[in-house]
């Protein structure tokens, strides 16, 4: 069945943002909230974001309380609002061509909808057809199935007509619950353990955006 909808993660899948925005924001948070601790290296940070996940890293590993989490959010928001992340160059051609093929672009991310829409307008000149970001209620954030269920219903799609592309486990968990094919975005993954996990668990594993583009454009609807 043809791919009619790309369900895309945003950070480190479409845009290069962790090294330039999210990790620096967390380093600032650590300098404010845990100045006595050595902050995680970038490799440790990305591994924690993969498992147990960013929020649990904050609450379980660094033991941020509710007040500290609000400050963490404020620092993060300051960083995300002040800088537009760089686009992966080959992603530009893929997304534009897929749209020209009448494809549907949906974004399910833990960035917030305002910044996601800003980034798409800046890089592509259009907004995604649907966006589900961190500003959504919990049941509409991955790994909960709410975002994908809404996309399937709104655009009258079968799961096999979609492809979820993500560099993190939460997108895989969401997709598997609904039998949506999942493609691992390996081009941003530095950890060998995470690479091996996706090689065994993902339906597709792409180490280059060009390989993803070849697959999608050969199998997209028109």
Share of the chain above pLDDT 90, in %: 98
Per-residue pLDDT of 89-101, as tens digits, reads 899 999 999 999 9
Find out whether 205 and 183 touch, Cβ atoms under 8 Å: yes
Strand order in the sheet with 104-108: 130-132, 104-108, 5-8, 162-166, 182-185, 204-206
Residue located via tokens 């353990």: 193
8: helix, strand or coil: strand
Per-residue pLDDT of 195-212, as tens digits, reads 999 999 999 999 999 999
Q: Read off φ and ψ for residue 220, nearest 5 degrees.
A: -90, 155
Q: What is the mean pLDDT of residues 154-174?
A: 97
- Per-residue pLDDT band at 221 (split at 50, 70, 90): low
Per-residue pLDDT of 11-55, as tens digits, reads 999 999 999 999 999 999 999 999 999 999 999 999 999 999 999
Q: Of 189, 134, 167, nearest to 8 (Cα)? A: 167
Per-residue pLDDT of 58-79, as tens digits, reads 999 999 999 999 999 999 999 9
User: What pTM was computed for the model?
Assistant: 0.95
């Amino acid at each position: 069945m043809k791919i009619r909808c790309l369900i895309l993660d945003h950070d480190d899948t479409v845009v290069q943002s962790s090294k330039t925005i999210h990790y620096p924001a967390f380093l600032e948070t650590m300098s404010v909230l845990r100045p006595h601790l050595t902050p995680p290296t970038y490799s440790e940070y990305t591994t924690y974001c993969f498992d147990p996940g960013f929020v649990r890293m904050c609450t379980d590993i660094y033991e941020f309380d509710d007040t500290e989490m609000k400050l963490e959010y404020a620092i993060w928001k300051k960083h995300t609002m002040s800088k537009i992340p760089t686009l992966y160059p080959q992603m530009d051609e893929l997304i534009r061509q897929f749209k020209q093929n009448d494809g549907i672009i949906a974004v399910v991310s833990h960035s917030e909808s305002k910044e996601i829409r800003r980034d798409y307008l800046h890089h592509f000149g259009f907004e995604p057809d649907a966006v589900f970001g961190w500003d959504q209620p919990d049941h509409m954030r991955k790994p909960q199935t709410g975002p994908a269920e809404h996309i399937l219903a709104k655009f009258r799609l079968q799961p096999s007509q979609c492809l979820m592309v993500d560099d993190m486990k939460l997108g895989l968990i969401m997709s598997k619950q609904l039998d949506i094919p999942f493609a691992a975005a390996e081009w941003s993954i530095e950890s060998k353990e995470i690479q091996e996990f996706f090689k065994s668990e993902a339906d597709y594993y792409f180490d280059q955006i060009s390989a993803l583009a070849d697959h999608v454009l050969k199998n997209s609807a028109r």
